[in-house]
Homo-oligomer: A and B are copies of this chain.
Amino acid sequence: MITVTLAEIIARLGGEVRGKDSTRISRIATLENAGQETIAFLSNPKYQKQLSQTRASAVIVAPDFAGQSPVPCIITPQPYLYFARLAQWLNPPPRPAPGLHPTASSESVVPSSVSVGPGARVGRGVKLGTSVMIGPGCVIGDGAEIGDDCILHAACTFYAGTRIGRRAIVHSGAVIGADGFGFAREQDGSWVKIPQTGGVWIGDDVEIGASTCIDRGAIEDTVIEDGVKLDNQIQIAHNVHIGAHTAIAGCTGIAGSAIIGKRCTIAGACNIIGHIEIADDVNILVASIITKSISRPGTYAGAVPSQPYADWLQNYSHLRHLDGMADKIRRLEKRLTELEKSK
């Protein structure tokens, strides 16, 4: 456990202390459930009331709220970002002792700074950067490349030839480089597999959630640029290209050859069809189906509301008859116009 004083914190992360700067901090906490040696933050004004009652040792607040803090505080224009940096400092990622566990196997050179966990398997011709952590049960296929300081949690799978840059965090059950879904159809309806000969290229500082799948390309690579953040259970099909610093929430699917811009945010449970293009700086809200390219930055939505069952039954049954409804309106307009004229 790391313990620091407020003075040490601002020396490293900036900001200004109001109150006793020798206050000691060893853990982060919420305003509501804070205790000894904890620091909390106020970012959303909605939680302002909790500030006055907090038992944290100190809080991180924007200038406007500093006056309301009952405890010492660090003042910064962006409390949440400041909190993130401090939380990283106080919670360094686990670093198991380097070395190959006796139950692991490797057919490649494992640098001395690398740890390979129990039951993990590293194939032939794999390039491992320095200080890589390969969790228990991970499988790294032949010829794969894992950059410096990557953390692969338990049970990640990298297929042969896949590449990921530095400082990635990959969560359990992620599958990188499985075959894309590509088949040609025979006249009898059966399918002939298109071997998926492309790879997967992933940049630096990417996080990949649990059970997320990134398929290898059909001929060329699937590409995930620097700084992309992917939540759990995301499906990225072959030859998708995701621009730098785009963040995608859980359960979203992106179909083949879709191109997603930089700095986009895509909420959970969205689906983006194949072969379309999304511009930079696009925000897509929850459960939206994107069936056309989006050429302009902005916020897009498509979720349909849920209702009490009886209301849903009454309202949504009309969805099958919207065209008839539009038609009725047209006919009413025509009849009314005629009536008005005839007056």
> Residues of A with Cβ closer than 8 Å to B?
27-30, 33, 78, 80-81, 83-85, 87-88, 90-91, 93-94, 101-105, 117-121, 135-137, 139, 141, 153-155, 157, 159-160, 169, 171-173, 175, 178-179, 181, 183-186, 188-195, 197, 205, 207, 209-211, 213, 215, 219-220, 227, 229, 231-233, 235, 237, 245, 247, 249-251, 253, 255, 262-263, 268-269, 271, 273, 281, 284-291, 298-309, 311-323, 325-326, 328-329, 332-333, 335-336, 339-340, 342-343
Interface contact A141-B154, CB-CB below 8 Å: yes
Least Cβ–Cβ distance between A283 and chain B, in angstroms: 8
Residue of B nearest to A249 (CB): B181
Partner of A185, one of B30, B81, B88, B286: B81
Task: Tell me whether A316 and B322 are in contact in the complex, defined as CB-CB below 8 angstroms, given that A307-B301, A332-B336 are known contacts.
Answer: yes
Partner of A219, one of B28, B237, B286: B28
Interface contact B305-A291, CB-CB below 8 Å: yes
A46 to B126, CA, bound (A): 39
Chain B positions within 8 Å of A306 at CB level: 284, 288-291, 300-302
Task: Tell me whether A289 and B289 are in contact in the complex, defined as CB-CB below 8 angstroms, given that A181-B249, A322-B319 are known contacts.
Answer: no
Further pairs besides A179-B207, A273-B286, A332-B332: 5, Cβ < 8 Å? A119-B137, A175-B211, A189-B281, A213-B250, A329-B332
Q: How many copies does the complex hold?
A: 3
Interface contact B307-A247, CB-CB below 8 Å: no
Residue of B nearest to A280 (CB): B189
Chain B positions within 8 Å of A137 at CB level: 119, 121, 137, 139, 155, 157
A342 to B343, CA, bound (A): 9
Interface contact B94-A101, CB-CB below 8 Å: no
Chain B positions within 8 Å of A178 at CB level: 153, 171-172, 209-210, 232
Chain B positions within 8 Å of A121 at CB level: 103, 117-119, 136-137, 154
Task: Tell me whether A219 and B29 are in contact in the complex, defined as CB-CB below 8 angstroms, given that A305-B320, A325-B326 are known contacts.
Answer: yes
Interface contact B309-A318, CB-CB below 8 Å: no
Chain B positions within 8 Å of A183 at CB level: 84, 229, 247
User: A104, A185, A188: which has the most chain B beta carbons within 10 Å?
Assistant: A185
